Structures are given as structure tokens and as C-alpha cells.
Structure 1
Amino acid sequence: MTVDPTLLDDLEWRGLIAHSTDLDALREALSEGSVRFYVGFDPTAPSLHMGHLVQVLTAKRLQLAGHTPYALVGGATGMIGDPRDSGERTLNSLDTVKEWVERVRGQIEPFLSFEGQNAATMVNNYDWTASLSTIDFLRDIGKHFPVNRMLARDVVSRRLETGISYTEFSYVLLQSMDFLNLFRDHGVTLQFGGSDQWGNLTAGVELIRRADGGKAHAFATPLLTKADGTKYGKTEGGALWLDPEMMSPYAFYQFWLNTEDEKVGELLRVFTFLSREEIEALEAEHAEKPFLRAGQRALAEHVTTLVHGAEETKRIKAASAALFGTGDLRGVGASTLHAALATARELVTVGADDVPTIVDLLVETGLVKSKGEARRAVTEGGAYLNNQRVEDPEYVPTDADLIEDRLLVLRRGKKSFAGVEVR
């Protein structure tokens, strides 16, 4: 299998390597032939989020360079959860974890190829953990883990003051056992993950050395932060989920479109497959004319297309244009339009038999503060219903105005819009 010798250089340029066990040895291994690698995902929620996307796309980069992926969804480790600073996790039932395993698998699979010489393989650590006896686990795995080194792990040492269960304390043994099992049964010699997993990654490498005298590699991607140093992946509504039912594709697109100027280049490197030349050209354009937001637009379009598909991205862009008066609102589709309106501000709901006048709707949606201001907006030509200028302040929308039989779009001026749902 021919491999791309420039892979590691590209990963470094994109800022995707925060830690490595031995960068020179890893470079040599990646240059000699197809390396079997794995990255794990614990189903502790029904969807992956932005942080997981970094790992999924990194796995895709390695496969495109000729290496062989093993994507692990942790049906066993997902029942426990990695220790975190905020405290003990709530343990989910086996049935819940099984359901989430399937959902997470379905989100990972579209990013990898399961055909060809370096076809991807999906694995579940429940398959080799469920039948393992406690005695065998303690003798074969636990024997290789000095407690003093486990206590020295950052998250464990921080949790010692508030308390940590033996269940979460022993999580590192389970993840390390995954690496050992994949090393023995599949010849996997590389694991990567987020930098918050660095202790688990190196523990797996060490277990392979101690138990089998084997040689393995690990690297960690950096934790992404905003310009002020706070974590990415959280929005006002929660995590940046990949599941369209948990976060609408429109809201997902808007998140990337609103990226801070200082972070555009970094996120283009991490989350897109644009070339170095293309990204540097976008950075230069952005530096010269930041008001055009070329970097943000490219970022939003590429990431949304990767996660939700080209057709959905096309609908989102059409909705954005239509809401600002340069497109056909009726051609957008009810679900996309509804999501776009809800993302901008809370939708106002009115009864089908009691639709107010345009003046009242302008006030109820918050586009104006008073009826007097609403009347002025209408008389001055600054009020729109479904992108059509409204001239009568007493006008009451009819069934013919409804988009998809239920939505009205109000706009004041060029940039302020709101939605009304008629039920």
C-alpha cells in the first residue's frame, strides 16, 4: 500500500499534533507502509459533537494518506465514562448505551471508506470486555498498572479532593486494554485522541510494552479554544452536536459563520480538507478585507457540507439569502426556514383564527418596541412580510401569505427579521 510521506508534515502544519510519544519514530512508521491505527469514541451521549469531529476528520486524513483505520465505539467504556473534572458521571443503562453505540457508529461511518486495501473497520470494545472475568482482568491487566502512577494523572489528582469512584479511577485500564487487544488481534500500532486523553493514550502504549514487549505509538490533538481561552464546542443552546435533531443544520452553519476573526485560520486547518495554498489564500484575503468574511463563509460551507451534505448546505445558504430579501422564501423548505427563524430569535406563535395586524406582529416579535414605532416603520417603507413591503399598518396576514401553510417572515429594514408560526 502506497502511503503519503508528507502526512505528518501536513498534520503538524494544521496544528493537529499537541503531544506524541516519539515523533521521529512515528514519522518513520508512517513512511514505511500502511499503519493500522485506532481512535475511540465513548457513547456517553446520543450524538458526537465538535470535539469528536476533530478525531473523525483526523482519522479520515490518515486513511486518505494510505493508513488503515479502526474506529472503536465503546459499548463497554461508554457504560463507565472517562473521569472528568466536574465530578462523577451518571451511569447509563446497557440498553441506552447500546442505542447510543448504533447512533454514534452511524455518524462515523460516512467519513471513512470501508472498501479497498486500507478499508476501515468498526469495532466495539464490549465484544471483548463483556465476558472477561474480574480475576483475569486484575491478573492480566491490573498487574501492569502502578497505583502511584495512576494517582499522578492530572484529572485523578484533581478529583482526589472531591472524591472519585473506583469505577472511574480504573477507566484507564479498560482503554489501555482496548489498545492491547487491537494490537494483538489486528496489528494496530497507533492510537490518537484529544489531548485530554493523553494519559490514557500513553498508558495503552505502556501496557503493550509491559504485557507483550511490543512497540506502539500515540499522538494527541490539541484542545481547541476560543480567542479568550475558553473551550469550543459549547453554544448558548449546549454542545455543538452533529445530530441534526439535536442541533439544526442551519444553527450548525451559523456557528461556523460567526467564528472569531482570530480563529478562522486555525479552524480552516483543523476542520476542512482545503489545501495549504487554498487556506493561506483565504487567510490573506481575510487579513486584507475581514469585513467580507471570506474565511468564515468558506469554513461554514465546507464543514456543514462534510457533516450534513451538499444539498442541506445549499438549502441553508438559500434560506440565509431569502431571509435578507435576496431569495425566494417559499423555495427554502419549511424545516430549514423554521430552523433559521428559530436560530435568529424565538418564534412567536399565534392562533389561525386570531392573527393580529402587521403592526401588532412587529411588536410581538420584538422587531420594534411600540405600536407607534411599528406604524412609522410601515409608513416609511421599512416593514416587510415575506420579503414584500407592507404599506397598510392594519393589514392582517391571510392563509395566502402562509409559507408551507404555517410560517410568516417579518423583516424590518435590511437585517432584522423574525418568524411567526400560525397554528
Structure 2
Amino acid sequence: MPNVYNTLVERGYIKQTTHEEIKDILEKEKITFYIGFDPTADSLHVGHFIALMFMAHMQREGHRPIALVGGGTAMVGDPSGRTDMRKMLTKEDIEHNVSQIKKQLERFIDFSDGKALLVNNADWLLNLNYVDFLREIGSCFSVNKMLTAECFKQRLEKGLSFLEFNYMLMQGYDFLELNRKYNCAMELGGDDQWSNMLAGIDLVRRKESKQVYAMTCTLLTNSEGKKMGKTAKGALWLDPEKTSPYDFYQYWRNVNDSDVEKCLSLLTFVPMEEVKRLGALKDAEINEAKKVLAFEVTKLVHGEDEAKKAQNAAEALFGSGNNLDNVPTVMVDDSSIGGLLLDILVEGKIVPSKSEGRRLIQQGGISINDELIKDAKALLEDRFFNDGEGLVRRGKKKFYKIKIK
């Protein structure tokens, strides 16, 4: 029987583990584990996607996931990987974000028949008595040791609030609660959570005299070590209202050649033999691997129908003869004719800002119906519309339809 640990290592997930015996445990036992998702926005983004895949691989081999939504911890904000304090969210904002994130988690994890649990740490954190919490939990943490944690180091230079300093205690307490309630034996998460994970393991040992474990997954970075998932419009969201399935597809279709194999390995269920074959393709042939990557990732996030629509739209734009029905569409009023084209591009979110639009025009990066726009003061003209529709190209591979309402 395959050991999920070997699968995770082969596909490049595992960055650090707390104990060597984890491999044997995952082979001989079926454990309950958890990953936490703080609802700091109303959608997960592609940085969370690798954690969802980590969780899905574990579930496929019979281990039970707990998807922990941080309705309580989001009230404080995780300082890990931050140079400044997170924006304070209201309870109403957090509750809205939690409801949206729950819907997305259900696309990746099977919660039927108790195969996985979906819990919210607000259920135990928000009703804690502060003095009781300090006596039971605070007494188990050494301030000297906490100050050496990587998640706090870079913040100490600019100032770390006492509010954020409590985050490690709260995350550690989550592990303790999940262990007590559900016999949760392992925490998984991004490598930036390592210090918080160690704190939780130590707390469970002190309070319950039990050994629990943790594994971290590599962060999603490109071949230059920079985080992937950033676009001209911001983060690459899993919510189709924030990032359209077409734009999502195009992001993966256009990744660097050197990142294709890594992305196929981490973000799809394509067998590793095929991943290695596709990753070994060179020059023009690597485009076939990129098409597989884009389709498979989009299918996982948005479903097969949306993936096919995005694929057909992309192929239509590159001359395969399919229609353009699935290209993102910007509706413009009749009254916009004669107005500044740059304003329309910004309002339609074809470009993120006027300054970026001017830069693209100056560099020959904007065209309408294959006509290059050379002047940032160009107007939106009737001639750009054929039967009430025009095709805008931004850069080499981004296409948008503009239609008159």
C-alpha cells in the first residue's frame, strides 16, 4: 500500500518535519490532522492552494483532515512573514469571510460521512476568560524563547504589538483544543508557520503528556525564489468573481518554462511519470506542458466546464478557430464613445491604473482589433466596434472583449 509520505516527498511538498518517525506513522496509522486558514479576505488565493493540495493528498490516503477556519485568530492577525501589522477586521467582516472560505474548501476536501471536519476556532477562542487563559496557557510559554522565533524576528525591528505577540499562544491553543476534541495528532501548513507549530506541539506535550507532530510544505515560489500568484491586478484569487477562470487559466499557461514541472507536481494530480515527461519538454514543445498545467489547475479550482471554456477561449485567440464567447467581457455605455480610451481600460479593469495603462501604451502593449494604440490620449471611437464588439489585447497574451450595452 502506498505511503502518502513518499508521495509528498516525491512531489516536492515537504519542507520540514518535526520527527523522523512521521513516515512510519503515516504508513501504519490513519491519523487526524489539521491545517488552519485565517479569513483575512473573502477568498483564498493561490498561496493557499498548495496547502489545499497537501490536505487533499493526505485525505486520498485515508487520513482525516480538519480544515480550521480562523474566525478567532483573525481577530488578532498572524505576524508571520509580515513587516507591518495586519489591518484590523471587524467581527462582521470576519464572519462574512469565513462563510465564503468554507464554500471554497468544500471544492477540494470531501466532508461527507465524517471524512473531514470543518471547524472555526472562534468557537473556543472568543469566549475565553483572559486571566484563566494566561494561567493555563500563558504559563507554558517562555518569552525569551518566543523572541527567537522567526515569525517575530523581522517585526521586532519595526515594532511588534502585544496583540500580535499573543498569536503564537492562540495557534498553540488551537492544536491543544483539536487534540482534546478530535484526537488531532498532526498540524500541516506553510513553512512560515514552523515556529507556531513547534509551540503547539510543546503545549500539547505539557498539558496532555502526548506526542503530536507537524510537517510544513514548501511555499509556492518560482525559479527565482519569488512568490508565485501575483498579477498586475494583485493576488491570483480562487474566487471567480475576483479572478476570472480565463485569467486564472492564462496565468498558468504563461508561467516560465523552468517552473512548469514544479507547478504540475505541486498543483495537479497528474501522475509523476507524466509530470517528468512534460517537464522535460524543450523550446516550443513546452507549450503542450503549459496547456496541461493550465487546464488541470483551472479544473481543480473552477470545475471542468469552466476549464474547458477558458481553454477554448485561449485557443480561439491563437487561431484554432473556436469562438470568443468565454473571453472576459467589458460592457461600455454608448455615451463612452468619444471618451478617453485610457479611462475605459481602467474602469473595465483591463489595466490596473492609468499610470500602468500609459506605460503599456508607450511600450506598444495595447491594441484594439490588432490596431496598435500609440497615444495615451487616444479616444474610444466607433470604428473599434464591429457589430457592437471590439477585441482588446494587453501585452502578448491577454485579451478582453469590449461591448456596447
Structure 2 residue aligned with 1:367: 371
* Closer, same or farther: CA 317–136 of 1 in aligned 2, 3 Å: same
How far off its partner does 1:415 sit?
8.0
Equivalent of residue 123 in structure 2, options 120, 127, 130 = 127
* Closer, same or farther: CA 410–124 of 1 in aligned 2, 3 Å: closer
How far off its partner does 1:243 sit?
0.6
Structure 2 residue aligned with 1:267: 263
Q: CA deviation digits over 1:207-239, x for unaligned, max 9?
A: 111111111010100122222222112112111
Matched ranges for 1:143-292 at <5 A: 143-284=139-280, 286-287=281-282, 289-292=283-286
How far off its partner does 1:293 sit?
1.1
Structure 2 residue aligned with 1:52: 48
Correspondence 1:351 to 2:334: yes
Correspondence 1:101 to 2:98: yes
How far off its partner does 1:185 sit?
1.0
Equivalent of residue 409 in structure 1, options 378, 391, 402 = 391
* Closer, same or farther: CA 415–85 of 1 in aligned 2, 3 Å: closer
In structure 2, what is the Cα distance between the partners aligned to 1:225 and 1:140?
Answer: 39
Q: Is the 1:19–1:221 contact (alpha carbons within 8 Å) kept by the matching residues of 2?
A: yes
Helix, strand or coil: the match of 2:160?
coil
Structure 2 residue aligned with 1:380: none
In structure 1, what is the Cα distance between the partners aligned to 2:153 and 2:392?
Answer: 55
In structure 2, what is the Cα distance between the partners aligned to 1:208 and 1:125?
Answer: 17
Q: Structure 2-normalised TM-score?
A: 0.85
How far off its partner does 1:153 sit?
1.0
* Closer, same or farther: CA 246–324 of 1 in aligned 2, 3 Å: same
Structure 2 residue aligned with 1:324: 318
Q: CA deviation digits over 1:33-76, x for unaligned, max 9?
A: 21000001000111101111111111110000010111100110
How far off its partner does 1:353 sit?
9.7
Structure 2 residue aligned with 1:19: 16
Q: Is the 2:368–2:384 contact (alpha carbons within 8 Å) kept by the matching residues of 1?
A: no
The answer to which of 151-160 and 69-78 deviates more is 151-160
Say what the alpha-carbon RMSD is for the aligned residues.
2.6
Correspondence 1:113 to 2:110: yes
The answer to which of 183-192 and 4-13 deviates more is 4-13
Correspondence 1:303 to 2:282: no
* Closer, same or farther: CA 97–282 of 1 in aligned 2, 3 Å: same
In structure 1, what is the Cα distance between the partners aligned to 2:135 and 2:19?
Answer: 29
In structure 2, what is the Cα distance between the partners aligned to 1:163 and 1:243?
Answer: 34
Letter in 1 for 2:266: V
Letter in 2 for 1:18: K
Q: Is the 2:78–2:164 contact (alpha carbons within 8 Å) kept by the matching residues of 1?
A: yes
Q: Is the 1:42–1:77 contact (alpha carbons within 8 Å) kept by the matching residues of 2?
A: yes
In structure 1, what is the Cα distance between the partners aligned to 2:94 and 2:397?
Answer: 44
Q: CA deviation digits over 1:355-392, x for unaligned, max 9?
A: 99xxxxx9767732579xxxxxxxxxxxxxxxxxxxxx
In structure 1, what is the Cα distance between the partners aligned to 2:233 and 2:171?
Answer: 31
Instruction: Look at both structures and tell me which one has the larger radius of gyration over its CA atoms.
Output: 1
In structure 2, what is the Cα distance between the partners aligned to 1:119 and 1:182?
Answer: 16
Q: Is the 2:73–2:170 contact (alpha carbons within 8 Å) kept by the matching residues of 1?
A: yes
Equivalent of residue 87 in structure 1, options 75, 84, 88 = 84
How far off its partner does 1:321 sit?
2.3
Q: How many pairs does the alignment contain?
A: 370
How far off its partner does 1:78 sit?
1.2
Helix, strand or coil: the match of 2:99?
helix
Structure 2 residue aligned with 1:31: 27
Letter in 2 for 1:251: D
Helix, strand or coil: the match of 1:188?
coil
Helix, strand or coil: the match of 1:219?
strand
Gaps (5+ residues) in structure 2?
340-365, 376-381
> Aligned residues: percent identity?
38
Helix, strand or coil: the match of 1:265?
helix
Letter in 1 for 2:166: S
Correspondence 1:422 to 2:404: yes
